Amino acid sequence: QKEVEQDPGPLSVPEGAIVSLNCTYSNSAFQYFMWYRQYSRKGPELLMYTYSSGNKEDGRFTAQVDKSSKYISLFIRDSQPSDSATYLCAMSANQAGTALIFGKGTTLSVSS
């Protein structure tokens, strides 16, 4: 079983839809969870950061962590064509500056 599983998609939705992106993981030691957005041929940019379980909201974006199920989600409300990108989940067990474990990314396309 891979450490982090993420459905690669592609996921296609109409403008204005609510999008749900998900990752599952196997390592119960993971405590820090991130979502990155990557546009084509660009570097990933940090979108959301969450520590342990719970929800975090930032504008149209909500990150949710359920450690009991080893499941994290990113919700995008009122999706826009500019949200079309690949979304990568990432996680780590500590803050020691060691490398993150990434999912393979989900490609999202929002049509106008």
Partner 1 sequence: DGGITQSPKYLFRKEGQNVTLSCEQNLNHDAMYWYRQDPGQGLRLIYYSQIVNDFQKGDIAEGYSVSREKKESFPLTVTSAQKNPTAFYLCASSMSGTDTQYFGPGTRLTVL
Tokens linked to 91: 């996680």
Four-CA torsion 29, 64, 40, 19, nearest 10 degrees:
150
- Answer for which of 50, 92, 108, 110 binds partner 1 (CB under 8 A) is 92
Contact 18, 75 (CB under 8 A): yes
- Answer for which of 15, 45, 57, 66 binds partner 1 (CB under 8 A) is 45
Footprint of partner 1 on residues 49-78 (CB under 8 A)? 49
Q: Tell me the pairing of strands 85-92 and 32-38.
A: antiparallel
Taking the C-alpha atoms of residue 88 and residue 6, their distance in angstroms, rounded to an integer, is 8
- Answer for which of 1, 68, 99, 112 binds partner 1 (CB under 8 A) is 99
Name which of 28 and 77 has its Cβ closer to partner 1.
28
Q: List contacts with partner 1 (CB under 8 A).
A: 6, 8, 32, 34, 36, 41-46, 49, 88, 90, 92, 94-100, 102-105
